[in-house]
Structure 1
């Protein structure tokens, strides 16, 4: 598989996302068709499905030989990251989209033979695309290049967290929150990751599927933020993982809590 012009591809993907945004905004104040997937808190709408079909159609035109994994099932059955694989989340934070019409994102990650090359997280309502990766040598918020966030220890910053994990104290998340400066819950992996990229939080813990973390992992790693399982292992990008996003120092602090198996 030939290597693309990554810079041109990035430009084309941003244009595709912006058109997707235009279509989403046109539909979001209409009556939504809302269905449950696995529970009443796991929703999908006609807008999720329509946007995924639109994005995958655009991806097929840009990169016809690639595989595409989409959350809503309109892509390929992907069993390997060999070659070029695009991973798409058409609406990340669907509950926020349904209940608030805010705080949701569109996300695309592009992997070449298992290595993340380009990631895109679109904060739809604020009209900011966070884009970049090793293929283009950095991460940008629209036209502004981002610096790496400060490498803070756990005690020195806020921790993003999935509320159910903290409520049920999965993997000692309550001890992790107690050791941090406080917990923040935004209800969208994409929005959570944006806060880490900007240094507003120093980490994030949640159970995530490939489309929830594919784009974010690329952007975070490019800025030196660690992404791993909760016990510090590499992610399986085609499976669900209990994901730990953290600065290097905070990751070390969190892994110590996991290893010590104690509450602070």
Structure 2
């Protein structure tokens, strides 16, 4: 894809996200309709659904030939990576949104034939946007992202899934112990922003495409590793345990996982 076309898309998407954020904040203190999906900790609200429909409508108007994979089902039944595919997470960290009205994100990604082109993670209440892709670089609130140091596990904080640590999946307790400390934010988007800004050396959780689609693009562009927990390539349509980290921390974690 031509870089000038990418820049036009980038400017357009940032406009959508500003409007999307405004829509969410206008309704954040209203009475929510909250339902469960797979279980009592897997929530969806009327705001999730409304925000996804808003973003789907913008994409349909701007890029009608593309397909859309949305968490709440407003898009298409995407079973192949061929062509242009948009991935939407309208509210990432819905439990945080419901219980705290904070620490949640909106995420959007564009893939073409399975390759990441543009990714966006917006911390809604913090008004903090990480954006970009391999042809234009990564930006932190519009400024080029400061290069993140290649810090090993033992010298950094690690973002981890609380349930996975409690069950010691993949030797997660050892990973936590060998880091300087674990953090559990409850939102993949907020964790990934922290990794990109050098506040965490990595993040591990079971994720679906809308959870990691944008982060995969941004982190790989920034020179980090994004794989399955056992170091295998991560497919765009995968639902699996994802390991996202600096290169040195990634090597350290794979050693622990393999023990």
Fold similarity call, TM over 0.5 = yes
Cα 1:143–1:2 shift into 2, 3 Å: closer
- What's the counterpart of residue 193 of structure 2? 194
Give unmatched runs, 5+ long, in structure 1: none
Task: State the 1:135 CA deviation.
Answer: 2.8
8 Å CA contact retained: 1:14, 1:129: no
| C-alpha distance in structure 1 between counterparts of 2:165 and 2:23, whole Å | 36
- What's the counterpart of residue 77 of structure 2? 77
5 Å-filtered alignment, 1:172-251, equals 172-251=171-250
| C-alpha distance in structure 1 between counterparts of 2:224 and 2:236, whole Å | 17
5 Å-filtered alignment, 1:56-135, equals 56-135=56-135
Task: State the 1:238 CA deviation.
Answer: 1.1
| C-alpha distance in structure 2 between counterparts of 1:13 and 1:129, whole Å | 12
| 2:29 is aligned with 1:26 | no
Task: State the 1:236 CA deviation.
Answer: 2.2
| C-alpha distance in structure 2 between counterparts of 1:135 and 1:60, whole Å | 24
| C-alpha distance in structure 2 between counterparts of 1:42 and 1:171, whole Å | 23
8 Å CA contact retained: 2:3, 2:135: no
Q: CA offsets, 1:78-112, max 9 Å, x none? A: 00111110000000000000000000000001101
| C-alpha distance in structure 2 between counterparts of 1:146 and 1:132, whole Å | 10
- What's the counterpart of residue 15 of structure 1? 15
| 2:40 is aligned with 1:40 | yes
SS at match of 1:192: helix
Give the alignment's Cα RMSD to 1 decimal.
1.3
8 Å CA contact retained: 1:147, 1:223: no
Q: How high is the TM-score relative to the length of structure 2?
A: 0.98
| C-alpha distance in structure 1 between counterparts of 2:170 and 2:43, whole Å | 25
| C-alpha distance in structure 2 between counterparts of 1:219 and 1:2, whole Å | 19
| C-alpha distance in structure 2 between counterparts of 1:39 and 1:96, whole Å | 16
Q: How high is the TM-score relative to the length of structure 1?
A: 0.96
| C-alpha distance in structure 1 between counterparts of 2:154 and 2:185, whole Å | 20
Give unmatched runs, 5+ long, in structure 2: none
Moved beyond 4 Å, runs of 4+: 1-4
